[in-house]
Amino acid sequence: MTDGPRPAPRRPIRRRLVPLLAVAGGALILGGCQAPTFGAFRGATTQGHDEFKLWVGLMIAGLVVAAIVWGLIFFALARYRRRSGDQMPRQFHENLPIEIVYTTIPILIVAGIFAFTVVTENEIDAVSSHPAEIVHVLAYRWGWRFSYYSPQGRAQGVRIETSAEPRLLAQPATSKQYPQLVIPLGETTRIVLNSADVVHGFYVPEFNFSRLAQPGVTNRFDFTPTRPGVYRGQCSTYCGLYHSEMLFSVRVLPAPKFTAWLASEQSSQAAAAGPVAAKTTAATTTAAGGRAAVETSSAERGAGS
């Protein structure tokens, strides 16, 4: 008789491990029905919700992979731990089937992530041929201008813009110090985004959406809000001294209220400012007119819908 390696108790460990993995995997899969947000917003637009679903899917896929990897590591640690009387185990250099498996599986995972990402990005970037409203957004140092256009591209005489002098206000983005983009609930608003000077970023966290505002480039995208409310927005690309003051908010109103708001803005802005209507949203309105005139960029004028 030899005193070779003691046969390990295979059955008991496997029996205990299989139900454990099944319970953990089942909890993860069932947990997907009421998925946690994993730090993201659920998305207050249809586009933002698509982004949220992709994010949650990737996080769950990552956790499943992590669970399998950790499970195999701990299984190997427990199953093949050193025991008294052990001898050097059999040594070998390669195992072709295992190498094929551990090369193929990651390739399939990455291909799957790529496919889901492309499909989701295409959904988010798709622009409707019949938007209910068109808003030209002009970013400039250091503010925003929102100009409203009809679906046919006619200016509606409503303009909301930053009017406070550039200085460190350090207020919340939803404060009245900053401009507010108002859009209708459940309808598609086309945003036509430009920059008058340097690269800025148009970012609304609760829409799970950010896009660069670039001089000489027009970016178009749609928002279809699903929840009324007020959402903060900010410049997401460092653009200079008062970058932190490039704040704004988005208010989503039910469609009838939006129509009423637009009509009241049209009449009040026409009465207040004559041919060039501009709404001032801050208490400090002094230099706003001058800055607006300087910053009416050719970019915005050239940006058709």
What is 165-213 written as a DSSP string? -SS-----TTSTTS-EEEEETTS-EEEEEEESSS-EEEEEGGGTEEEEE
- Under the binding rule (CB under 5 A), the answer on residue 246 touching Cu ion is yes
Give least dist CB 139 to Cu ion, A.
6
Distance CA 233, CA 113 (A): 29
- Under the binding rule (CB under 5 A), the answer on residue 49 touching Cu ion is no
Number of residues that bind Cu ion (CB under 5 A): 4
Give least dist CB 205 to Cu ion, A.
16
**DSSP 8-state class, residue 45:** B
Give least dist CB 135 to Cu ion, A.
18
Stretch that binds Cu ion, among 80-88, 129-137, 203-211, 239-247 (CB under 5 A): 239-247
Stretch that binds Cu ion, among 111-119, 189-197, 237-245, 293-301 (CB under 5 A): 237-245
Distance CA 119, CA 76 (A): 38
* Sheet strands side by side (includes 279-280): 219-223, 189-195, 133-140, 143-149, 155-161, 279-280
Q: Which is nearer to Cu ion, 182 or 239 (CB)?
A: 239
Distance CA 135, CA 249 (A): 14
- Under the binding rule (CB under 5 A), the answer on residue 132 touching Cu ion is no
Chosen residue from 235, 250, 262, 277 binding Cu ion by CB under 5 A: 235
208 pairs with which residues across the strands?
Answer: none
Chosen residue from 200, 207, 245, 269 binding Cu ion by CB under 5 A: 200
Stretch that binds Cu ion, among 51-59, 168-176, 231-239, 267-275 (CB under 5 A): 231-239
SS (H, E, C) 48-115: HHHHHHHHHHHHHHHHHHHHHHHHHHHHHHHHCCCCCCCCCCCCCCCCHHHHHHHHHHHHHHHHHHHH
- Under the binding rule (CB under 5 A), the answer on residue 239 touching Cu ion is yes
**245: three-class secondary structure by DSSP:** helix
Stretch that binds Cu ion, among 90-98, 108-116, 176-184, 230-238 (CB under 5 A): 230-238
- Under the binding rule (CB under 5 A), the answer on residue 138 touching Cu ion is no
What are the structure tokens assigned to 86, written together? Answer: 């052990």
Q: Which is nearer to Cu ion, 141 or 159 (CB)?
A: 141
* Cα pseudo-dihedral 13, 17, 18, 20, rounded to 10: 150
User: Mask: binding to Cu ion, 75-94, rule CB under 5 A, as x and -?
Assistant: --------------------
Stretch that binds Cu ion, among 53-61, 94-102, 244-252, 296-304 (CB under 5 A): 244-252
Q: Which is nearer to Cu ion, 202 or 258 (CB)?
A: 202
- Residues binding Cu ion (CB under 5 A): 200, 235, 239, 246
